């Protein structure tokens, strides 16, 4: 039996989300149909508003409603340090710690030859441009402790160090393969404080 067109379309849409196969998508689609109409409207509106109102910051690559983002515009923050992360969600996690006062840069991923992701696919050129123009003394590389994250850190270090800028890496309080997203605040704080020059 074929699903009616509207639910087939809904299943198809859910399947476009990461980590969601046809089984989960079907479950979510049927769940959505049973939700109160107002909740479904709010859900749909939130999807559209997020896509319409959010942009990538032209300086750091963070997601933001205003460009440049609040962090880049905040002159109170330490302009001499840039912390490099894989994705905007990592900034949210680090900001929850309320300890780090410097700036950020979002790579939008890591080097991954298997996935065909090379340096030109990441926000590396924009980082190097910032290092030329801004008074940056230290770059903290906070890519995840995966093989790809480590390779990306090494690659960036080789690019940045010749410019006389200190390059550090988060301490391995974050165990190999662990995502910044899942680290608790204390672990993160220790990882930032115990960062080491690479
Ligand atoms: Zn920004």
Distance 66 CA to ligand 1 centre (A): 9
Distance 56 CA to ligand 1 centre (A): 8
Distance 105 CA to ligand 1 centre (A): 7
pLDDT band at residue 97 using 50, 70 and 90 as cut-offs? confident
Q: Do 168 and 198 meet the contact criterion of CB atoms below 8 Å apart? A: yes
Q: What stretches of 37-171 adopt beta strand conformation (E)?
A: 55-56, 63-64, 78-85, 102-106, 138-141, 166-169
Mean pLDDT of 44-73: 95
* Cα–Cα distance for residue pair 75/88, rounded to 1 Å: 20
Structural domain count of the chain: 2
In the sheet with 166-169, reading across from the earlier edge strand, the strands are 102-106, 78-85, 138-141, 166-169, 196-197
Q: C-alpha distances in angstroms, 178 versus 30, 105, 142, 143, 146?
A: 34, 20, 12, 10, 8
Determine the structural domain holding residue 96 and report its residue range. 60-197
100 shares a domain with 46: no
179 shares a domain with 94: yes
37 shares a domain with 10: yes
14 shares a domain with 77: no
- Predicted confidence (pLDDT) per residue in 7-39, tens digit: 999 999 999 999 999 999 999 999 999 999 999
Averaged confidence pLDDT in the chain: 89
137 shares a domain with 48: no
- Here the CATH number for the domain that contains residue 26 is 1.10.8.420
- Here the CATH number for the domain that contains residue 116 is 3.40.1360.10
146 shares a domain with 102: yes
Distance 15 CA to ligand 1 centre (A): 31
89 shares a domain with 46: no
45 shares a domain with 83: no
25 shares a domain with 99: no
Distance 38 CA to ligand 1 centre (A): 35
Distance 196 CA to ligand 1 centre (A): 25
Distance 104 CA to ligand 1 centre (A): 7
Distance 106 CA to ligand 1 centre (A): 9
- Predicted confidence (pLDDT) per residue in 110-153, tens digit: 999 888 889 999 999 999 999 987 789 999 999 888 889 889 99
């Amino acid at each position: 039996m074929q699903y009616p067109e509207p639910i087939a379309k809904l299943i198809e849409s859910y399947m476009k989300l990461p980590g969601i196969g046809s089984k989960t998508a079907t479950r979510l689609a049927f769940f959505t149909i049973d939700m109160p109409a107002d909740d479904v409207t709010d859900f749909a509106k939130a999807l559209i508003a997020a896509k319409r109102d959010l942009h990538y910051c032209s300086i750091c690559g963070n997601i933001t409603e205003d460009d440049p983002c609040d962090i880049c515009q905040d002159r109170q923050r330490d302009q001499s340090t840039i912390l490099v992360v894989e994705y905007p969600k990592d900034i949210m996690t680090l900001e929850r710690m309320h300890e780090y006062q410097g700036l950020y840069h979002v790579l939008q991923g890591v080097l991954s030859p298997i996935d065909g992701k090379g340096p030109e696919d990441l926000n590396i050129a924009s980082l190097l441009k910032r290092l030329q123009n801004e008074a940056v003394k230290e770059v903290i590389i906070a890519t995840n402790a995966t093989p790809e994250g480590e390779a990306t850190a090494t690659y960036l270090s080789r690019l940045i160090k010749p410019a006389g800028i200190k390059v550090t890496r988060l301490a391995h309080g974050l165990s190999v393969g662990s995502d910044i997203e899942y680290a608790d605040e204390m672990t993160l704080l220790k990882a930032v404080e115990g960062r080491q020059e690479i």
